[in-house]
Each structure stands twice: as structure tokens, then as C-alpha cells.
């Protein structure tokens, strides 16, 4: 069974940092691009970032570029999202998802909650 | 960035009704649109890929159509279990962007 498990969420102060992790199992992890998306309380979905299968190609939504860094360790079936300079409006549930080959994201995890507050 | 204008923002329909949700893209994105269903407290579930390909396990009453800038999700015969919020996503151009969502309620 394909599974993705997010972790690392919690409380951060404005301007602070958190590192989210996404662990994959049940599929050939190293052959899939992995993405992060988020959902603020009561709001819609927002795509945040994606990393290619080898880790070379990365893309970000404009609002996080320069503050967030996506990376992966295929030997551990892990993808990370390093978040710096966090803002209050980035309080959200963060989901990781695998990108189907040349296609859309398939969300399999339950998400990890990030709260940015003083 | 490509903007996805999704309509309506909410609708209420009866069991058995045909329901249509539309997304209009600010520029052509060919067929690179997906549709998701999300229920409260749950992650979004992929229903439709590449505008019209029904994902494995998704009920056949769901269908997608469109290309270029206009896309449609249709529920042919609304069921109680379809009460949810639906989102379109364009992944033809970075940054990928979602529509604002459509809440579907059962009358």
C-alpha cells in the first residue's frame, strides 16, 4: 500500500524555522517526484513546492522562494521541507504528495500541522 | 502565474441531480488539470487526472472534460457521499495553482 507520512509540524514563532519530513513506503520512492501543499484553517489548497525524483529539479511557489528549501534522501525514502522566516499566515496543515509520472499529485498522508504564532 | 477561476463557490443539489463545476484558466494549460475531492478533516483525494482520466477507485459517476482554458467536472447522479469540497488544479505551468474550491451540499 502506498503511504506517505508527514512529521515535524508544531509551533514556531514568526520569523522562526521548522523542518518538515515526509516518509514514503509501498512504492519505488526514488522514481517519483514529491510535492508539498498546504491548507490554512478554513481556506483552500495551495501548492508549495516540488522536487524531482533525483533531487536536482526543484520548484517553489513565489511566496516561499528563498525562505523554504525542499530536499530528499532517496536512501532513506525521505523528503524534507526546511522552512525559515515563517509568517503567521503560513499557519496550515502541510501535506506531502507523490507526483504521478508527468501528472498531478496524489496525496496519501494526513498532513502535519504548523502553527506560526507569538 | 496561471490563475484558475473556479465556479460556483458553492452549490446545493438533490440526490440524483447532475452537477457541473467549472474551472477557467487564465492561459492555456492544454490538458494538465486535475480534480480533487476533500471532506472535512481529510486530505484531498485525486479524482481526475489530465482533465478527463478517472483515477482508479473513483466512482464512474465522476467525469472530467476540457482542454486549453476551460475545464469541467461533472457528477452524473449526485449521491450522499459526494458532499464535499472540490478543487481543480493546474499543473501545466509552475507555480501549480488550485481553484478556490466548490462546496457541494446535499439538499
pLDDT band, residue B66 (cuts 50/70/90): very high
Give tens-digit pLDDT for B90-101. Answer: 999 899 999 999
- pLDDT digits over A31-74, tens only? 999 999 999 999 999 999 999 999 999 999 999 999 999 999 99
* Nine cell digits for residue A69: 528549501
**Cβ of residue A47 closer than 8 Å to a chain B Cβ:** yes
Q: What is the pLDDT of residue A102?
A: 79
- CB contact under 8 Å between A104 and B97, yes or no, is no
**DSSP states of B3-53 as a string?**
-EEEE-SEEEE-TT--EEEEEEESS--TT-EEEEEE-TTS--EEEEETTTE
- Please give the average per-residue pLDDT across B20-25, as a whole number: 98
Burial of B57 (0-12, 13-18, 19+ CB in 10 A): exposed
CB-nearest partner of A61 from B36, B87, B95: B95
Assign B56 a pLDDT band (cuts: 50, 70, 90).
very high
Q: How confident is the model at residue A101 (pLDDT cuts 50, 70, 90)?
A: confident
User: In angstroms, rounded to a whole number, what is the distance separating the alpha carbons of residues B76 and B79?
Assistant: 9
Average pLDDT over residues B57-70: 97
Nearest CA in chain A to B55: A106
Query: What percentage of chain B has pLDDT greater than the value 90?
Result: 97
Does residue A86 carry a pLDDT above 90?
A: yes
Question: With a CB-CB cutoff of 8 Å, which residues 61-80 of chain A face chain B?
Answer: 61-62
Whole-number average pLDDT of chain B: 97
Q: Do A44 and B101 touch (CB under 8 A)?
A: yes
B81-91 pLDDT, tens digit each: 999 999 999 99
Amino acid at each position: 500500500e502506498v503511504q506517505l507520512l508527514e512529521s515535524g509540524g508544531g509551533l514556531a514563532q514568526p520569523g522562526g524555522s521548522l523542518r518538515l519530513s515526509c516518509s514514503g513506503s509501498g512504492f519505488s520512492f526514488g522514481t517519483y517526484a514529491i510535492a508539498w501543499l498546504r491548507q490554512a484553517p478554513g481556506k483552500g489548497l495551495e501548492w508549495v513546492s516540488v522536487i524531482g525524483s533525483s533531487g536536482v529539479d526543484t520548484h517553489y511557489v513565489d511566496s516561499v522562494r528563498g525562505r523554504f528549501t525542499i530536499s530528499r534522501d532517496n536512501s532513506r525514502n525521505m523528503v524534507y521541507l526546511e522552512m525559515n522566516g515563517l509568517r503567521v499566515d503560513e499557519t496550515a496543515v502541510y501535506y506531502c504528495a507523490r507526483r504521478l509520472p508527468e501528472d498531478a499529485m496524489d496525496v496519501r498522508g494526513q498532513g502535519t500541522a504548523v502553527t506560526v504564532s507569538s | 502565474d496561471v490563475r484558475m477561476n473556479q465556479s460556483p463557490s458553492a452549490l446545493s443539489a438533490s440526490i440524483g441531480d447532475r452537477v457541473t463545476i467549472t474551472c477557467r484558466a487564465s492561459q492555456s494549460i492544454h490538458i494538465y488539470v486535475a480534480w480533487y475531492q476533500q471532506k472535512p478533516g481529510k486530505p484531498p483525494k485525486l479524482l481526475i487526472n489530465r482533465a478527463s482520466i478517472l483515477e482508479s477507485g473513483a466512482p464512474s459517476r465522476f467525469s472530467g472534460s476540457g482542454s486549453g482554458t476551460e475545464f469541467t467536472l461533472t457528477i452524473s447522479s449526485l449521491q450522499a457521499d459526494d458532499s464535499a469540497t472540490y478543487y481543480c488544479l493546474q499543473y501545466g505551468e509552475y507555480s501549480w495553482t488550485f481553484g478556490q474550491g466548490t462546496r457541494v451540499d446535499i439538499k
